[in-house]
Structure 1
Amino acid sequence: MLPMLIAFAAAFGLLIGSFLNVVAYRVPLGASVAGGRSECPSCHHQIRAYDNVPVLSWLLLRGHCRDCQAPISRRYPVVEATTAVLWALVAAVAGDTVDVVLGIVLVTALVPITLIDLDHQRIPNVITYPAAATALVAGTAIDPGGELSRVLAGAGAALFLLVPVMVYPSGMGMGDVKLAAVLGLCLGPAVAVAILAALVVGSLTGVLLAARHGVQKARKMRIPFGPYLAVGGVVGIVAGQPLLDAYLSTF
């Protein structure tokens, strides 16, 4: 049963990944993600349905538009494949139904958030708010007994990042605070592991940049924190609760 669930999650994740490419492209432009077919950004021809099959169409077209032969970024199939892997990963490691649903909600939000934050250094409310609302509704419906701990985890994670935002606003933004809340609503107490992982990965990245470019240049590089929170979120899904349980068992 589990292999079938993983395969189904991967297949559906491919389709969702195609949509998330649209979200990451249109949301920063203020365009609707619900209406209008995708088009080539170079010649503006609408993409045919048979040229819009996740990953496969890009490979068959060799990464070029059928009409104008303009190159199509590798990012599109990479995002589709990554979303498929993340959905399959959630299905593989989730302990019960609520973990599957909230894990899917989280990784689906993290993909476009990461892309937009890398491209535009902002995390849109139009993604975090619906993700938070979906997590609240789904968590309450499936596991009402555990919702209080998830809400408290979300509030705690948000407050934890709110302090550095207030002290040093150029380092993080309120988008990061809201994303931390979403992590808590989806991961529950395991969000502590996710936040720690994000801080560790961010610190290691800073050290590597300083070693490569020098401390002064590294300090001037503006690197968004959202992608690190996304990495932390995946760590939280995969190993958050086991690591938290192992830590608490030492006391």
Structure 2
Amino acid sequence: MAIYPSVLIHFVVFVFGLCIGSFLNVCIFRIPRAKSIVRPPSACPVCGAPIRFHNNIPLLSYALLKGRCRDCGVSIPLRYPALELATGLTATAIFATFGASLSAIVYFTFLSTLWVVSLIDIDHRIIPDVISLPGIPLFFLASLAVPSMTVKDALLGILFGGGSLYIVAWSYSALKKTDGMGGGDIKLLAMIGALIGWKGVLFTLFVGSALGTLVGVGLMITGGKTMKLAVPFAPFLSAGAAIYVFFGPRLINWYLNVIPLSI
């Protein structure tokens, strides 16, 4: 049976995404530890044995090794293949939405960066400046390749993204006499705004805050935690930005059309 060219292309894009996901795992592990993401080659974090090329094939190697290091037998976290799969699906979804274009490359790079930031924030409660600060000018320049973006939108996205969270953080600190939001979230939203503009920042803040509230309340109910439970905000900002990339303009237009009907 012949394989349709479009199916083959999507499969190639998916495999490419898997390989990028494997690299993202390296970034997530090494960046918070201030280690190079290039050298040395991948190795088991427990026994230090180098990972052979044929044991480093995304998804497949994890299945063949039954989720364990070939040398010391320690269990490999399921999150590693899960991120590879998620990145493969992300690449496929981006390609299906934007086709073979510069916009697709930009958005895939953007979402891959958000995967790294989110998981580092979950693990260490930090958003590395080495990602967010260079990300602001880089994604500002990358926004020039996105037809729906303008220089004005990108600049306003940076200013509004960083400024809005800065005002929230400053107000909370002034009222409560304690820090309520890290500077990493401020720089992250500025980076997000650099690519998706001020409208994307508004959307990201609304969706991210809603998701964060739902998850926070759920954790308090199930875990008996207090209102002072610390929940990393980067994953929710990243989720809001990702939703905007795929559906934002359509959701905004739908919402604006519904408002007159409800008044």
The 5 A counterparts of 1:4-153 are 6-94=10-98, 97=101, 99-140=103-144, 143=147, 146-153=150-157
What TM-score, normalized to structure 1? 0.90
- Residues 216-251 of structure 1 deviation map (CA, whole Å, 9 limit, x = unaligned): x23232111111111112211121111122334557
**43-52 vs 143-152, which deviates more?**
143-152
- Residues 33-64 of structure 1 deviation map (CA, whole Å, 9 limit, x = unaligned): 12210111121110001111111111110011
Q: 1:209 aligns to what?
A: 219
In the alignment, structure 1 residue 247 sits paired with structure 2 residue 255: yes
In the alignment, structure 1 residue 162 sits paired with structure 2 residue 166: yes
Alignment length, in residue pairs?
Answer: 249
Shift of 1:150: 2.1
In the alignment, structure 1 residue 219 sits paired with structure 2 residue 227: yes
Does the aligned pair in 2 maintain the 1:43–1:68 contact within 8 Å?
yes
The aligned amino acid for 1:26 is R
In structure 2, the CA distance between the partners of 1:213 and 1:41, relative to structure 1 (3 Å rule), is closer
Unaligned stretches of 5+ in structure 1?
none
Unaligned stretches of 5+ in structure 2?
174-178
Q: Distance in 2 between matches of 1:145 and 1:69?
A: 50
Shift of 1:143: 4.7
- Residues 88-110 of structure 1 deviation map (CA, whole Å, 9 limit, x = unaligned): 22222238845423311221111
Q: Distance in 2 between matches of 1:155 and 1:25?
A: 31
**Secondary structure of the residue that 1:220 maps to in structure 2?**
coil
- Residues 108-144 of structure 1 deviation map (CA, whole Å, 9 limit, x = unaligned): 1111111110111010011113332331222235659
Shift of 1:191: 3.0
**Secondary structure of the residue that 2:44 maps to in structure 1?**
coil
Does the aligned pair in 2 maintain the 1:90–1:237 contact within 8 Å?
no
**240-249 vs 230-239, which deviates more?**
240-249
**Secondary structure of the residue that 2:107 maps to in structure 1?**
helix
* Alignment RMSD: 2.3
- Residues 73-96 of structure 1 deviation map (CA, whole Å, 9 limit, x = unaligned): 111101111111112222222388
- Of the two, which has the highest radius of gyration? 2
The aligned amino acid for 1:244 is I
Q: Distance in 2 between matches of 1:7 and 1:147?
A: 35
The aligned amino acid for 1:199 is S
Does the aligned pair in 1 maintain the 2:143–2:149 contact within 8 Å?
no
Q: Distance in 2 between matches of 1:236 and 1:30?
A: 31
Does the aligned pair in 1 maintain the 2:160–2:201 contact within 8 Å?
no
